[in-house]
Amino acid sequence: MKDFRILLRTSFVVALCAFGAPWFFGISNTGTWMPLALPLALFWTALVIFALVRFRARGLWLLFGTPLALYWPVVLFMLAWGCAHDIKACP
């Protein structure tokens, strides 16, 4: 049980860091925060997969960090997808 709590806290900290990186480094300075936020999101994903394999149903609790951890990868993907398909929302 103690291992699960440590993993749960680590997951939330990583998710918060992945979400908060743009505000820590300045949201307009994408060259600084993007190389940090995306690997943190991948690391969070690896933590969740590990928890699901190790703890099975209890590992689902780590999915509460999903909106925080995957916010920037989804936003950046949608922006890149829109630009690639010549949608007028491309900046």
The domain ranges of the chain are 2-84
What mean pLDDT is reported for the chain? 90
How far is Cα of residue 48 from the mean position of the Cα atoms in its chain?
11
What pTM, to 2 d.p., does this model score? 0.87
Mean pLDDT score, 8-37: 90
Looking up tokens 């969070």, which residue turns up?
44
Mean pLDDT score, 63-72: 95
Tens digit of each residue's pLDDT (9 = 90 or more) over 45-63? 999 999 999 999 999 999 9
Cα(62)–Cα(51) distance, rounded to whole angstroms?
8
How far is Cα of residue 5 from the mean position of the Cα atoms in its chain?
19
